[in-house]
Chains A and B, each alone.
Chain A
Amino acid sequence: MKATLALADGRIFRGEAFGAEGKAAGEVVFNTSMQGYQEILTDPSYDGQIVAMTYPEIGNTGINHEDMESRGPYMRGFVVKEYWDTPSNWRSDESLGAYMKRTGVVGIHSIDTRALVRHIRELGAQQTVLATGEVDEGELVKEAATAASLEGIDLASGVSTDAGYKWVTGLWRLGAGHNKTESRGPLVAALDFGIKYNILRNLADLGCRVVVLPATTSPEEVMKLDPDGLFLSNGPGDPDAVKSAISTVAELHGELPTFGICLGHQILALALGGKTYKMKFGHHGGNQPVLDLDTGAIEITSQNHGFAVDAGSLPSGVRVTRINLNDQTVEGLGHQTLPVFSVQYHPEASPGPHDANPLFKRFFNLLKTRSAVDADGGLPERGDAIGGI
């Protein structure tokens, strides 16, 4: 079946369909990771977006039940050069296309993805429509051109969990998969703006009791749990639109050791009085060099963001701790006096390199176990292959 990708500026790519049939609209972005399409597919931060992979051979290892980053795919559409339907990997459960079909993600393959990437690089990320079957290309372009941009839209609240739950499984290990964690350690309240499971697995693996809360949870409800630390998760879209979370974080500021990742980092910056802006096409990939300004060490990081914190907007007391070596954008924030820090990139990787993983340990070390063992009072348990999937 044919498939068509129509960009708001009128550029059309014609290819073949895979995955679900139908039509989807979203902002088209590209990701430069050579591995990990399954994690990308199931990363809630891609809500509202159509993702093009720069690496051309996609589908080789199929889909397995262990490498999920959330309950299912969030991206609106998937764009690849060459789609492979008969996976070769001992962990594969089904093909990528079958999974996308099952979960309603439209895909296009056999287009010049490099031309698309260069187009996005020159003209910026933009609204795009991906449709399968016979289409009126002019109509698609019109639809794309009139689709709302991501700016000003609160996508995070939409992908957040409806109700709180406890996360109880650890990191994936070869041969063992995900183990259930039995922890009596510090209690971390994680605000879910579209949280990736691997963040939860990392925290659980370190011995944290992790309680995941909806994005709209009030400061009082958070404090009612008597947590030892606050975690602000990654998530999709414009941070400035997640108003309730920004005010919650502002209110909680100073109360708890706090760690933010990606959207969580941006929300923290906004809550402290800083500003964010939309980037031309963002950073999406697993090879971004980040310089730690304190130690001079370089981390190769996994990134996925289209907005960034404006370094000049930060209030006193907050400082930039890390920058991106490619374009000098802000990659990390710290507080002069409080145990509060955040990074723009993904220390949980998944996909991507593990260089930044010690940040979880750093957060863990800030936590003191004060809360009672039953402080999370009867929330349901979730985890890998336990009830979450």
Chain B
Amino acid sequence: MPKREDLKTIMIVGAGPIVIGQACEFDYSGTQACKALKEEGYRVVLINSNPATIMTDPGFADRTYVEPITLEMATAIIARERPDALLPTMGGQTALNLAIELAESGVLEKYGVELIGADLAAIKKAEDRDEFKAAMQKIGLTLPASGYVASMIEGRKVMDEIGLPLIIRPSRTLGGTGANIAKTPEEFEEYLEFALDCSPVTEALVEKSIEGWKEYELEVMRDRKDNVVIICSIENFDALGVHTGDSITVAPAQTLTDKEYQILRDASLAVIREIGVDTGGSNIQFAVNPKDGQLVIIEMNPRVSRSSALASKATGFPIAKFAAKLAIGLTLDEISNDITRETPASFEPTIDYVVTKIPRFTFEKFPQAEDKLTSQMRSVGEAMAIGRTFKESLQKALRSLEVGSAGFEPRPDLDEAQIDEQLRRANSERIWVVGEALRRGYSIERIYELSFLDPWFVGNIKQIIDMESDLSAVDGLAALSVEQLRRAKQYGFADKRLSDLLACSETEVREARLRRGVTPVYKMVDTCGAEFEAFTPYLYSTYEEEDEAPPTDRKKIIILGGGPNRIGQGIEFDYCCVHAAFALKEAGYETIMVNCNPETVSTDYDTSDRLYFEPLTLEDVLAIVRRENPQGVIVQFGGQTPLKLAKALEAEGVPIIGTSPDSIDRAEDRERFNEVIAKLGLKQPPCGIARTVEQAEEVVARLGLPVLVRPSYVLGGRAMEIVREHEHLRRYMANAIKSSPDHPILIDKFLEHAVEVDVDAIADTERVVIGGIMEHIEMAGVHSGDSACSLPPMTLDEATQEEIRRQTGAMAGELKVLGLMNVQFAVADGEIFVLEVNPRASRTVPFVSKATGVSLAKLAARVMAGETLAELGFTEEVRPAYVSVKEAVFPFIKFPGVDTLLGPEMKSTGEVMGIGRRFGVAFAKAERAAGTILRSSGAVLVSVREEDREELMKVCKGLAGVGMSLVGTRGTAEFLSGCGLECQTVNKVREGSPHTNDAMASGRIAMVVNTCGTPEAVQDSFSLRRTALELNIPYFTTMAAAAAAVEGIALVDDANSKARALQDFHSGDF
């Protein structure tokens, strides 16, 4: 069937900010969808509040609305753009939820908008547990016994009926938020209460737990002629009980015979047909009893998902792109397989390698949270690896994770009881514990009994461990035979791990390997197991005979990607890498991408000319560089991951283009950086370096408290703290020395009440041009990634900005920056201090690009390749006449017991952007996009430390001005009353009921302003912040943010309903 001609304009809904459970895989799917629909000639309207995405680049849609994804805003956009259809299956749960709201509120009908891909009935059938259960029963599939409950009383009844263990899942939350498994009645009560709180509809599904069953996922596609194909099967390494996003997963399924696999396939076909997903992709999850093959269906996502992204990367079959084409009426046989060109998309990919995905966790950021994996997702990113065997793929995946592991390092610290416990209870370290258990002689059966990990997986790990002991028994590298070395590499052993086992250096292993001719070959991911010729060089390494993708003789540049997402390094860096690939392709280079993150746009096979899906380690990157022999390698776009490799690559003679690794080191190395600052006559906060507790004490004696302490070479403010007491300093230093003895600790004088400023700039050999100056809304001390910011600055005067520009230019010149540079300043009492300089792409590059309409990453890539800014036509800073605000989004709700206070260690997972003519509108939009609903009526609960009372006065006057009332804890309320402002007093929690939390629970509190100074006050008010979080009451923990909120509240109606596209702002029509 030809594509539909009755549709002209199609609206695509993005997924909004990166949160746990919804990450950049939806940028990948949305970007593919935008491209596919534009390619077919449709006018594309996009809504997505996330500025860090590729899809929100103005070129990808005809109309790009970086606006909050709300019913009101979407309605405004629909009224303005009059789309014929809305595609809701590309933006995760967020987009589906919006589609449901738009349909149920009658907006779609009113404006004649058709839902394509999945209609309302299909979405509801898949999403509503009761409807889903009924549908599944109709086609003969069973779900685990369950009941839907809306109260504790109903819950207890269901518990009695079904019996423990029970899994409790709140309705309509993302990534399984609030889900838990209860094994005792006490746990049941606790978890159910939490689940009901989490659910926006106060409902939870209580379900028989089938922990220990094998879990499978199938990715399915259907076209409107009812052709259905399976794209990929995935088997979870972790048994049921761990969220699939937190599970190590393997493609294809490994431990099913054809008969058993076909049961899943038949069921999947029946499910997608019964649910009624007319066109596009769906993900269906099953559990299989390993004892008898009994099957239950777990769930179905009637949309592309995280697993779709993984399946696309695992097979080379672009699910999202094809789903978009199916949505506009094409059928699978009318779409050609890009990779083979000759054959159609109406087939099932077959793969001739093994794919392993391992999630990346971030428990170190939330020390109060327990490292325990459940049915609620907690990982923030993932790495994928491809190998010809599971062993190779698994070991490549381990080193791709970048958590300091090159393979199965021993865990001598664990005793047997701890090993048993860690095997029994899934956690982020379990895979290494399995290795350790095998090393200590645990049988495969015993490990299975403790962990339910399939013996096939454990058996493969045993082969790795057995080989480790063989290797350790060899008398050093020289005594290792070529056959042993080759066999080890075929098992996926990293040079680094081999060097541990052979007691030599990694370099020695590499050199011995090269000398003996043990080098990787590269094979193609081709969807068809080599049955047809492939035309897209999507490559992975392995140790076999044939290399099937010899390098070309074109001039080429390699771009190193950012690896798995983590807090502090995420989609923003992928955005930069993708732009570098686009820009250099335009400039005539062959572009080569290296990355191992399956969620990204950079790992799409059509983003660059050649894609190496490989770990970003020195070994793997060097192997690629050696064969490709590029004109240059770009390390400054992928965040800290490639940057860490820069020096070692340069030492191996690799041409690093852009700012030199030496300049990068001058900026990163504190002692060398101090010299730069001194030479330029600039100021930085007084500082020192300490390697011991004593040295730290000396530095602090000189600087005075408070100070900011951190290890050198970190991203995302890892282990960065503000120290106000000597005891805290000693404790911090003792820990730091223990965990990283090689790196000194940097100690800076902490500037209280300073305003922080972020600057992105771009430099060539002739000039420096400012990309954007951003003023942080939170005071200094809050990590820049966690702070909201405004472009242009809202309070800095012109003279200060001018001086900031001058200083930026001076540093760029001194450091001979070629490409991007980010500087952080602090402005305190009119003085400007340089906090840090990063001669590389920063987290704010995509935001600045959206705010100014200038694609900084593209320009920087071309500058690095030798063009000048003058040639590229970018010689002057763009200063928009509108205001853009970036706001951070946090994962606190996923980590019960974790405080929500912001500090120097970054904790946000994503960001949103609000744009408006005035700051208040932009801020309110950003807040709304981040999920914070500002209201202009009701009461504001205030509880602030003494230093903040002056500021509070201004804020409260503003609040009173818009008609809001005030409620305060004793000290704060007395102060306000003393100033003539009416403020009701409420008890602190420890003063007894009715207290602050009761007031919040009663629903009359519209907003909370809470700051605290002393650790006691922090502890005291912890439950206040946590309660606000759980009740989704806007809460501000700095006065600056509270002041911004007041401005936002005043303009909140405008912010909620006025939609403007990026194209309008950039063309000056707003």
Instruction: Name the contact of A288 in the complex, choosing from B266, B342, B347, B529 (C-beta under 8 A).
Output: B347
Instruction: Name the contact of B294 in the complex, choosing from A33, A175, A354 (C-beta under 8 A).
Output: A175
Provided the pairs A35-B258, A54-B529, A325-B333 are in contact, do residues A90 and B292 lie with their beta carbons within 8 angstroms?
Answer: yes
Instruction: Name the contact of B349 in the complex, choosing from A33, A114, A287 (C-beta under 8 A).
Output: A287
- Pair B346/A289 contact, Cβ less than 8 Å: yes
Q: In the docked arrangement, what's the CA distance between A233 and B342, Å?
A: 31
Check if A362 is an interface residue, CB within 8 A of chain B: no
Per-position 1/0 for B528-551, Cβ under 8 A of A? 111111000000000011101000
Provided the pairs A84-B456, A88-B459, A289-B333 are in contact, do residues A39 and B258 lie with their beta carbons within 8 angstroms?
Answer: yes
State how many angstroms separate the Cβ of B383 from the closest Cβ of chain A.
21
Instruction: Name the contact of B531 in the complex, choosing from A86, A121, A300, A351 (C-beta under 8 A).
Output: A121
Instruction: Name the contact of B350 in the complex, choosing from A55, A66, A327, A349 (C-beta under 8 A).
Output: A55
Check if B948 is an interface residue, CB within 8 A of chain A: no
Check if B257 is an interface residue, CB within 8 A of chain A: yes
Per-position 1/0 for A54-92, Cβ under 8 A of B? 111100110010110000000000000110101111110
Check if A128 is an interface residue, CB within 8 A of chain B: no
Check if A118 is an interface residue, CB within 8 A of chain B: yes
Q: In the docked arrangement, what's the CA distance between A88 and B453, Å?
A: 11
Check if B259 is an interface residue, CB within 8 A of chain A: yes
- Pair A88/B454 contact, Cβ less than 8 Å: yes
Check if B185 is an interface residue, CB within 8 A of chain A: no
- Pair A56/B353 contact, Cβ less than 8 Å: yes
Q: Which residues of A contact B34 (CB under 8 A)?
A: none
- Pair B348/A287 contact, Cβ less than 8 Å: yes
- Pair A32/B531 contact, Cβ less than 8 Å: yes
Instruction: Name the contact of B348 in the complex, choosing from A172, A174, A353 (C-beta under 8 A).
Output: A353
Check if A38 is an interface residue, CB within 8 A of chain B: yes
Chain B interface, DSSP helix/strand/loop, else mixed? loop
- Pair A35/B546 contact, Cβ less than 8 Å: no
Q: Which residues of B contact A114 (CB under 8 A)?
A: 352, 388, 523, 529-530, 544, 546, 548
- Pair B530/A118 contact, Cβ less than 8 Å: yes
Quick one: which of A67, A288, A353 has the most chain B CB within 10 A? Answer: A353
Check if A132 is an interface residue, CB within 8 A of chain B: no
Provided the pairs A114-B544, A285-B531 are in contact, do residues A35 and B354 lie with their beta carbons within 8 angstroms?
Answer: no
State how many angstroms separate the Cβ of B492 from the closest Cβ of chain A.
12
Q: Which residues of B contact A90 (CB under 8 A)?
A: 290-293
Least CB separation from B387: chain A residue:
A56
- Pair A57/B257 contact, Cβ less than 8 Å: no
Instruction: Name the contact of A54 in the complex, choosing from B225, B233, B347, B530 (C-beta under 8 A).
Output: B530
State how many angstroms separate the Cβ of A324 from the closest Cβ of chain B.
10
Provided the pairs A54-B530, A67-B259 are in contact, do residues A112 and B545 lie with their beta carbons within 8 angstroms?
Answer: yes
State how many angstroms separate the Cβ of A271 from the closest Cβ of chain B.
31
From A215-223, A290-298, A368-376, the one touching the partner chain is A290-298
Q: In the docked arrangement, what's the CA distance between A111 and B543, Å?
A: 11
Instruction: Name the contact of A118 in the complex, choosing from B253, B295, B333, B548 (C-beta under 8 A).
Output: B548
Quick one: which of A56, A90, A115 has the most chain B CB within 10 A? Answer: A56
Least CB separation from B545: chain A residue:
A112
Q: Which residues of A contact B226 (CB under 8 A)?
A: 297
State how many angstroms separate the Cβ of B687 from the closest Cβ of chain A.
55
State how many angstroms separate the Cβ of A87 from the closest Cβ of chain B.
8
Check if A350 is an interface residue, CB within 8 A of chain B: yes
- Pair A55/B455 contact, Cβ less than 8 Å: no
Check if B262 is an interface residue, CB within 8 A of chain A: yes
Q: In the docked arrangement, what's the CA distance between A354 and B259, Å?
A: 10
Quick one: which of A33, A289, A296, A297 has the most chain B CB within 10 A? Answer: A289
Per-position 1/0 for B502-530, Cβ under 8 A of A? 00000000000000000000010000111
Q: In the docked arrangement, what's the CA distance between A82 and B225, Å?
A: 39
Q: In the docked arrangement, what's the CA distance between A300 and B390, Å?
A: 27
Check if A250 is an interface residue, CB within 8 A of chain B: no
Check if B229 is an interface residue, CB within 8 A of chain A: yes
Which residues of A341-386 have CB atoms within 8 Å of chain B's CB atoms?
349-354
Least CB separation from A302: chain B residue:
B258
Check if B351 is an interface residue, CB within 8 A of chain A: yes
Least CB separation from A296: chain B residue:
B225
Q: Which residues of A contact B253 (CB under 8 A)?
A: 34-35
Q: Which residues of A contact B544 (CB under 8 A)?
A: 112, 114-115
Check if A334 is an interface residue, CB within 8 A of chain B: no
Check if B241 is an interface residue, CB within 8 A of chain A: no
Q: Which residues of B contact A56 (CB under 8 A)?
A: 352-354, 388-389
State how many angstroms separate the Cβ of B970 from the closest Cβ of chain A.
65
Q: In the docked arrangement, what's the CA distance between A54 and B353, Å?
A: 9
Which residues of B434-470 have CB atoms within 8 Å of chain A's CB atoms?
454-456, 459
Instruction: Name the contact of A38 in the complex, choosing from B254, B257, B530 (C-beta under 8 A).
Output: B257
Least CB separation from B257: chain A residue:
A61
> Number of A-B pairs whose CB atoms are under 8 Å?
177
Check if B263 is an interface residue, CB within 8 A of chain A: yes
Q: Which residues of B contact A316 (CB under 8 A)?
A: none
Provided the pairs A57-B354, A88-B255 are in contact, do residues A326 and B343 lie with their beta carbons within 8 angstroms?
Answer: yes
State how many angstroms separate the Cβ of A109 from the closest Cβ of chain B.
11
Which residues of A7-26 have CB atoms within 8 Å of chain B's CB atoms?
13
Per-position 1/0 for B230-267, Cβ under 8 A of A? 10010000000000000000001111111111110110
- Pair B257/A326 contact, Cβ less than 8 Å: no
State how many angstroms separate the Cβ of B240 from the closest Cβ of chain A.
16
State how many angstroms separate the Cβ of B536 from the closest Cβ of chain A.
16
State how many angstroms separate the Cβ of A359 from the closest Cβ of chain B.
16
Instruction: Name the contact of B530 in the complex, choosing from A84, A121, A326 (C-beta under 8 A).
Output: A121
Q: In the docked arrangement, what's the CA distance between A117 and B530, Å?
A: 7
- Pair B261/A35 contact, Cβ less than 8 Å: yes
Quick one: which of B257, B352, B353, B529 has the most chain A CB within 10 A? Answer: B257
Check if A97 is an interface residue, CB within 8 A of chain B: no
Q: In the docked arrangement, what's the CA distance between A55 and B390, Å?
A: 12
Provided the pairs A82-B389, A286-B348 are in contact, do residues A32 and B255 lie with their beta carbons within 8 angstroms?
Answer: no
- Pair B352/A54 contact, Cβ less than 8 Å: yes
State how many angstroms separate the Cβ of B490 from the closest Cβ of chain A.
8
- Pair B255/A61 contact, Cβ less than 8 Å: yes
Which residues of B214-236 have CB atoms within 8 Å of chain A's CB atoms?
225-227, 229-230, 233
Q: Which residues of A contact B523 (CB under 8 A)?
A: 114
Least CB separation from B521: chain A residue:
A112
Check if A274 is an interface residue, CB within 8 A of chain B: no
- Pair A55/B344 contact, Cβ less than 8 Å: no
Provided the pairs A82-B388, A88-B255, A297-B226 are in contact, do residues A32 and B545 lie with their beta carbons within 8 angstroms?
Answer: no
Least CB separation from A64: chain B residue:
B257
Q: Which residues of A contact B530 (CB under 8 A)?
A: 30, 54, 114, 117-118, 121
Provided the pairs A32-B528, A35-B257, A60-B255 are in contact, do residues A175 and B347 lie with their beta carbons within 8 angstroms?
Answer: no
Which residues of A27-41 have CB atoms within 8 Å of chain B's CB atoms?
30, 32-36, 38-39
Check if A45 is an interface residue, CB within 8 A of chain B: no
Check if B763 is an interface residue, CB within 8 A of chain A: no
Least CB separation from B348: chain A residue:
A287
State how many angstroms separate the Cβ of B396 from the closest Cβ of chain A.
14
- Pair B254/A60 contact, Cβ less than 8 Å: yes
Per-position 1/0 for A313-344, Cβ under 8 A of B? 00000000000011100000000000000000
Q: 3 shortest A-B CB distances, which residue pairs?
A: A36-B258, A351-B258, A54-B529
Q: What are 19 A-B contacts defined by CB distance under 8 Å?
A: A33-B350, A38-B257, A54-B530, A56-B352, A60-B254, A89-B255, A114-B523, A172-B259, A285-B531, A287-B347, A287-B348, A287-B349, A298-B227, A298-B346, A326-B344, A326-B532, A327-B342, A352-B258, A353-B262
> Which residues in A have some Cβ–Cβ distance to B below 8 Å?
13, 30, 32-36, 38-39, 54-57, 60-61, 64, 66-67, 81-82, 84, 86-91, 110-115, 117-118, 121, 172, 174-175, 285-289, 291, 296-298, 300, 325-327, 349-354
Given contacts A57-B254, A117-B529, A296-B225, 10 further A-B contacts (CB under 8 A): A30-B529, A88-B459, A90-B290, A174-B294, A285-B531, A291-B333, A325-B343, A325-B346, A350-B259, A352-B258
> Which residues in B have some Cβ–Cβ distance to A below 8 Å?
225-227, 229-230, 233, 252-263, 265-266, 290-295, 332-333, 342-344, 346-354, 388-390, 454-456, 459, 490, 523, 528-533, 544-546, 548
